[in-house]
Amino acid sequence: MFALWRAFVRRKPIEKNESTRLKKCLGTTELTALGIGSTLGIGIYVIIGTVAYRQAGPSVVISFIIAAISSIFAGLCYAEFGALVPKAGSAYVYSYICVGEFMAFIIGWNLILEYIIGAASVARGYSNYLDGILDNKIKNFFKDTLHLKLPHTNWFSDYPDLFAFSLTLLLSGVLSFGVKESTQFNLIFTAVNFFVVFYCVIVGLFKIDFHNWNISKNEIPTDIDGGKGGFFPFGIKGTISGAATCFYSFVGFDAIATTGEEVLDPQRSLPISIILSLTAVTIAYCAVSAIQTLMWPYWDQNNDAPLPYVFKQVGYPFAQKVITVGALAGLSTSLIGAMFPMPRIIYAMANDRLLFRFLSRINERFKTPLIATMLSGFLAALMATFFNIGELAEMMSIGTLLAYTLVAISILILRYQNQPNTDFDNDQSTAQIMMTNDNDENIYQGSFIKRLFNWKNSDQPDQFSSHLSMILIAISFVLVFIWNFTFIIFEDKIWSLTLPYYGIIPLIGIFLLFIFVVFCLARQPKTRNESTSFRVPLIPYIPLFSVFANTYLMVHLNQMTWFRFIGWMFIGFLIYFSYGIVKSVGYLTQEEINRLSLKSDDDCDGEQIHNDNDIIVN
C-alpha cells in the first residue's frame, strides 16, 4: 500500500538547462491573441442565443458572469503554475512536477477529453453554423442520402456530419505534417474576430430596446415555451443551468499554457496573457449577450446561427455578412486552439510513459508526434460526425471542470508542501529528494489539537503540517462535493424558498463543518516562494472557491454525461494501473531519463530501462 502511495506522489524531475528545439519567439501579445483566439468562438456566435432562448432569457448576461468567475479563478491558478515552472507544459506537466504522478495523470487524462471532445464540438458547431447560413443545405443533403436511425436520438445526430468529419481530419492532417501553428495567422484571424465583436456591439447599440428585458408572458406566442417573461423567465435555476452551458465559452485559454517552450519570457508572459485574455473574453461575452438580448426578444432567437439572425431581424442585412466573416475566423481559431494542444498532451504523457509508448513517437521527416496527432484527430472527427453538439459540449465541460478543480487543488497542495519540487536551480533529482524525505525526522511538537490550530503560529511548513494540510484539503473537497450534490437535490425548493427541515439541516451542517476545516487549513503554515512572478492571492480561499464553483457547475451537467465521464475515467485508471504505474519515468534519475530518450529516439520498440526503484504494487 505504501509503494502505491509513493507511486502516486512521485514527482517528475526538472531537467536543468534543458534545451529546446523550438524557436523562442512568442511574446505577451501573441500569447494573448492565442488565448483569445482559442476561447472566443462558438460562445459568441451560438451559445449566447441558445442559452437566452432555452435556459436563461435575458439573464444570460448573469449566466456569463457566473461562468466567467469560475473560469477566472481557474485562470489565476493556471497563471501561478505558468509562472512557477519555466518549462513547456500544460496543467499536466505542471502538476507532475509540483504535486505528483497520480494527480498529473488524472489532469492529463481529463485534458485529453477536453481537447478531443472540444475539437469535435467546435467542428460540429462550425458545420451547424454554416448550415444555418446556407438554409440547412448540408444537413438536408446528408439527411436525404445518409439518414441515421440510431437509438438515443438526443445523443446522436440523425445524420452523419461528414462536413465536420472532413474538416477535423483535414486539420489534423495539416497539423501532423509539421505546419506549426502560425501565430501570424492566428493573430490576424483573432483580430478579425475581435473587430466583428466590437462592430456588433457598436452597431447593435442603435437598435436596443429595454423592453426586451422585460417582456410579459402574454406577449410570448402560446406555442413557444418562453417561461414567465421578464429578466429571469426561467427563474434563477435557469440562469444557473445557463451558466453551466456558458462555461463552455470560456474554455480554451489554457492553450496558452501549452506553448511555454516557445515563449521568450514565460514566467512573465504566461500569467499576464492568461489574465488579459480572460478579461477581454469576459467583456466580449457580457457585452454581446446584453446587446443581443436587448435587440431582439429572447424567445425568438435562432438556434444555429443566432447572432446574424438578430441583425437580420432588426433590418441590418449588411451586418449579417460582416458577422459571418467574423464567425468563420473565430470558429477557425477556436478549432485550431483545441486541436493543436491535443497531441502535445498525449505526447507528453506517453513520453513520461503514463500512456503507451508508441504515442510518443516523433516522425523523422515532419518532426511532429504523427501517431498521436492522427489518432486524436481521427477520434475527434468520429465524435463530431455522430454526436450532437449539446452532448459534446457537456462532455467537454465535465472534463475541463474536473481539470480546473484539480489544478486549484494542486495549487493548494503546493502551497502547504514542506518539500516543494520547485527549486529549479537545484539539480538534485526528485528521486533523491524523495529519499531524503523519507529519512526526515518527524519532530511533531505539541498535541494534535495544537497543531490543528497552529497555536504556535509557526510559519514554516514541516512534514506534519504538510500532511495535515493534505488531509484538510481532501476533506474540504469531499465536503464541497457532498454539499453541491445535496444542494442540487433540493434546488427547486431552495429557489422557491420552501426548503423543508430535512434539507436545511444537512446543508447547514456540512457548511459549518466546511468552515471549520477551512479555518484549520488557513491556520497552517505556507511555503514562501517569493521568486515567482505571479502567485494566487488569498490562499486558501480563491482555490477553494474555484473548487466550489467548478463542482457546482459539474453537478448541473446531466446524468448521462456523468455516466459517460465515469466510463472515461475507468478506462484511464485501467491504463494507469496496468501500464503507467509500472512504466512511468517518475522515479528515474536525470541520467536514466536521458538514456531512455536516446534509446527511444533510436528505436521505439527497444527494451526499456528498468530502474532500481521500479515499484511493485502490493
**334 vs 466, beta carbon nearer ligand ARG:** 334
**309 vs 340, beta carbon nearer ligand ARG:** 340
Among 13, 35, 37, 41, binds ligand ARG (CB under 6 A): 41
Which listed range, 41-49, 309-317, 508-516, 527-535, lies at the site for ligand ARG (CB under 6 A)?
Answer: 41-49
Which listed range, 51-59, 330-338, 538-546, 560-568, lies at the site for ligand ARG (CB under 6 A)?
Answer: 330-338
Q: Does 469 bind ligand ARG (CB under 6 A)?
A: no
* Count of beta carbons in the 10 Å neighbourhood of residue 436: 10
> Which of 559, 545, 236, 160 minimizes the C-alpha distance to 394?
559
- The angle at the Cα of 199, spanning 194 to 204, to the nearest 5 degrees, equals 130
Which listed range, 37-45, 63-71, 162-170, 236-244, lies at the site for ligand ARG (CB under 6 A)?
Answer: 37-45
Integer CA distances (angstroms), 348 to 23, 96, 276, 335, 352, in order = 18, 11, 27, 21, 6
Q: Does 122 bind ligand ARG (CB under 6 A)?
A: yes
Among 251, 345, 431, 521, binds ligand ARG (CB under 6 A): 251
**108 vs 525, beta carbon nearer ligand ARG:** 108
Q: Does 249 bind ligand ARG (CB under 6 A)?
A: yes
* Minimum separation from the CB atom of position 402 to ligand ARG (A): 13
Helix (H) and strand (E) counts in the chain: 26, 0
Q: First vs last Cα of the chain: how many Å apart?
A: 6
Which listed range, 113-121, 141-149, 221-229, 505-513, lies at the site for ligand ARG (CB under 6 A)?
Answer: 113-121
* Cell, residue 74: 481557474
Q: Does 42 bind ligand ARG (CB under 6 A)?
A: yes
Q: Does 305 bind ligand ARG (CB under 6 A)?
A: no
Which listed range, 68-76, 102-110, 245-253, 494-502, lies at the site for ligand ARG (CB under 6 A)?
Answer: 245-253
Beta carbons within 8 Å of 328's beta carbon, 6+ residues apart: none
Burial 312-329 (b: 16+ CB within 10 A, else e): bbbebeebbebbbebbbb
Task: Tally the C-alpha atoms within 13 A of residue 513's C-alpha that lie toward its C-beta.
Answer: 16
**330 vs 540, beta carbon nearer ligand ARG:** 330
Among 32, 39, 71, 301, binds ligand ARG (CB under 6 A): 39
Site string for ligand ARG, 584-613 (x = CB under 6 A): ------------------------------
Among 48, 77, 396, 581, binds ligand ARG (CB under 6 A): 396
Q: Which 130-189 residues touch ligand ARG, going by CB under 6 A?
A: none
- Cα separation, 296 vs 57, whole angstroms: 11
The 3-class secondary structure across 383-412, one letter per residue, is HHHHECHHHHHHHHHHHHHHHHHHHHHHHH
* Minimum separation from the CB atom of position 339 to ligand ARG (A): 9
* Minimum separation from the CB atom of position 327 to ligand ARG (A): 10
Q: Does 118 bind ligand ARG (CB under 6 A)?
A: yes
* Count of beta carbons in the 10 Å neighbourhood of residue 73: 23
> Which of 390, 344, 376 minimizes the C-alpha distance to 171?
376
- Is residue 26 helix, strand or coil? strand
Q: Which residue is nearest to ligand ARG (CB)?
A: 118
Q: Does 94 bind ligand ARG (CB under 6 A)?
A: no
Beta carbons within 8 Å of 460's beta carbon, 6+ residues apart: 525
Query: Site size for ligand ARG, by CB under 6 A?
Result: 17
- The angle at the Cα of 13, spanning 413 to 25, to the nearest 5 degrees, equals 95
Which listed range, 36-44, 95-103, 266-274, 312-320, lies at the site for ligand ARG (CB under 6 A)?
Answer: 36-44
**64 vs 102, beta carbon nearer ligand ARG:** 64
Q: Does 259 bind ligand ARG (CB under 6 A)?
A: no
**45 vs 298, beta carbon nearer ligand ARG:** 45
Among 241, 269, 273, 334, binds ligand ARG (CB under 6 A): 334
Which listed range, 83-91, 244-252, 311-319, 528-536, lies at the site for ligand ARG (CB under 6 A)?
Answer: 244-252
Amino acid at residue number 470: M
Give the burial class of 567: count Cβ atoms within 10 A of its Cβ; 0-12 exposed, 13-18 middle, 19 or more buried.
exposed
Q: What is the chain's length?
A: 618
Residue 571 CA, distance from chain mean position: 20
- The angle at the Cα of 606, spanning 604 to 612, to the nearest 5 degrees, equals 115
Asked whether the bond before 540 is cis by omega within 30 degrees of 0, the reply is yes
Among 112, 257, 336, 338, binds ligand ARG (CB under 6 A): 338
**43 vs 271, beta carbon nearer ligand ARG:** 43
Provide the phi-psi class of 534: left if phi over 0, else alpha when psi is between -120 and 50, else beta. Answer: beta
Angle, nearest 10°, between helix axes 60-84 and 389-416? 40
Report yes or no: 577 and 611 within 8 Å, Cβ to Cβ. Answer: no
Among 13, 35, 37, 43, binds ligand ARG (CB under 6 A): 43
Among 30, 80, 101, 114, binds ligand ARG (CB under 6 A): 114
* Cell, residue 18: 534543458
Amino acid at residue number 40: L
**252 vs 326, beta carbon nearer ligand ARG:** 252
Which listed range, 22-30, 112-120, 180-188, 600-608, lies at the site for ligand ARG (CB under 6 A)?
Answer: 112-120
**99 vs 396, beta carbon nearer ligand ARG:** 396
Q: Does 252 bind ligand ARG (CB under 6 A)?
A: yes
Structural Rg of the chain based on CA atoms: 25
**38 vs 259, beta carbon nearer ligand ARG:** 38
* Minimum separation from the CB atom of position 271 to ligand ARG (A): 19
Burial 582-604 (b: 16+ CB within 10 A, else e): ebbbbbbbbebbeebeeebeeee
* Minimum separation from the CB atom of position 336 to ligand ARG (A): 10
Residues making contact with ligand ARG (CB under 6 A): 38-39, 41-43, 114-115, 118, 122, 248-249, 251-252, 334, 337-338, 396
